[in-house]
A and B are shown apart, each in its own frame.
Chain A
Amino acid sequence: MRVVVVGAGIVGAAVARELAGAGVTVTVLDRAASAGGTSAAGEGNLLVSDKGPGPELVLAQRSLTLWQSLRDELPDFPSVEYEAKGGLVVATTTAGAAGLRRFAESQRGAGVLAEEVDPHDLEPDLTRDYTAAFHYPQDAQVQPAIATEALLAAARRRGAEVRQGVEVLGPISLHGRLAGVRTSAGDLHADHVVVAAGPWSGEVSSRLGVMLPVRPRRGTILVTTRMPQRIRHKVYDADYVGAVGSDDAALQTSSVVESTASGTVLIGSSRERRGFDGRIEARVLSALAAKAMVLFPFLADVAVMRAYGGFRPYVPDHLPVIGPDPRLAGLWHATGHEGAGIVLSAATAELLADLLLGRETHVPSSPFAVERPTLASHLASSV
């Protein structure tokens, strides 16, 4: 069996590795270089703490299990900087505290470890003005670009071919099904085509003949200079939980603050819907800085050296799209992971391979199906 995977980000890389491991002949295409889009523009979150009970949490929990083995798969590779550092979610208002307690309680019912703590035992420099704090020991982190490259390298080791700088131009159709892709480097025949192009999946899908409502949602991150470590967990304010699932197009910021292996501190994260507009704006940076200082007042004197932004792939009902496209045989999707693609890549790849190879799936597949009811109106309205 031959499969073309479109997109050399973390989801495409994980899918390629999984399929190649099952003996499939895999070619990964990317119009640009590997790990050059969304996968290189985030913090590398492996989180369960920000997910309420439901299919996405199930996928994340399965992914965390898979990441345990993935992290050590390539001993001779640059470290993916896997760190099971745990998350600390902090509320700073009375209403926020109540909401956080309710949320944590619901998560515990779904198997998430969440414990209300005195946060200063974990983060001595945290603000004194907090109203509730929960520790999520299962939260972890990787360096997302290296993780992507590691998965691609693993895929290559299993026989996959990775072709960078090759753009998909259109479909190769045969008897009403997709039989490959026309590319900037010639035709490529395949039994199946998996679109894993993140926020550009909508564009790729339309070139292949179907509409998929994946849109970019902009995020911006600040990076400080290196400093002696004073932040030990992934610390975020409880507003983040609301912002992730929000439909609001306007700017939202909630603070996510953490140290990296190199000694810098990453400060996220903003969410804004405005297409592929990549400008860095002062008002966004100001809002990020102000929120981070609420959590860690000592940050006021810390120097920021870089700001960067990226685009999260966003689907109207906030769930990834994983599986075959019922409108075009031979076309598969693995996209729409929004800000959780790094963690979800692992179980996404497993699920897609299970479906494609006719194996029993490890998690229920229907919530992620293209034909799910919550996506139907979006598919119908805009063809």
Chain B
Amino acid sequence: MNEDVYMLGIETSCDETAAAVVKNGREALSNVVASQMESHRRFGGVVPEIASRHHVEQITLVIEEAMQQAGVSFADLDAVAVTAGPGLVGALLVGVNAAKALAFAHGLPLIGVHHIAGHIYANQLVTEMKFPLLALVVSGGHTELVFMKEHGNFVVIGETRDDAAGEAYDKVARALGLPYPGGPHIDRLAHEGEPVMDLPRAWLEEGSYDFSFSGLKSAVLNALHNAKQRGEEIDPRQMAASFQASVIDVLVTKTAQAAKEYGVRQVLLAGGVAANRGLRAALQEKMKELPDVELVIPPLSLCTDNAAMIAVAGTVLYQQGKRADLALNANPSLPLV
């Protein structure tokens, strides 16, 4: 690549309206995120219709802000990349149609990006990606182990069979009476308690890299329920610590196993749950067993949903000659291929 590539990224798959400009797939010139968390808090979770309404209100403002911060005009852009899925369909549609309108109005190539590919490629804003690599993607909607032998080549070697890890966090948090979103609260409480309770770990069948968190979630809810019936009180700190220990044990053990089996050079952490201190620390500790494998954990602002990661993944696809046309649609269950 001799010429610089300026990519506008747009992301509206859930409750963040986001736009960013990334240069050469490595440098975020801007990364604007308008969060709707306050608006959804009163409902205890993201309400799809309300998320979609907020996206329409915010979309052009956020894109303009991203372009102004980056100091670029439409004439400077090489292409527009947008999250095409997976996610909430009504929310995705706003970003997809805004991106198509921009591409058409300014004669720019259009690139459809997979949300998880974006999360993985957020790491390219931190360091060079070295293949083959393994990405552990953990968020409110996803828990996946993705093997990449080269750019743009994704093989999902493990995924959750029921709840995503972040989902289990939110449900357990609610049962403990913690405010939405619950993940950070559990992480905080877990550090004040000890994992003294024996909670299940779903290893599944031998050699499987899949995950399952619904049994763990049920065990927590049952324990809380039974204690209440007996008039006993469970220390939420002990429960948070025990729950978190169980989740992290499975995530970290399977990640290390897969890293070994697939002979990867790098392990990347991606997704909103990557902000979890317990997970970061445990993964760092475990990966000491594999000194030849580099562990990359991006900063928090690149772990949660953002558009810079979409622009990075879009740049890779752009350089591979991949293009979407104006019939590009949102696909809430878009497969990662």
B is a partner of A: no
* Chain B residues in the interface with A (C-beta under 8 A): none
* Chain A residues in the interface with B (C-beta under 8 A): none
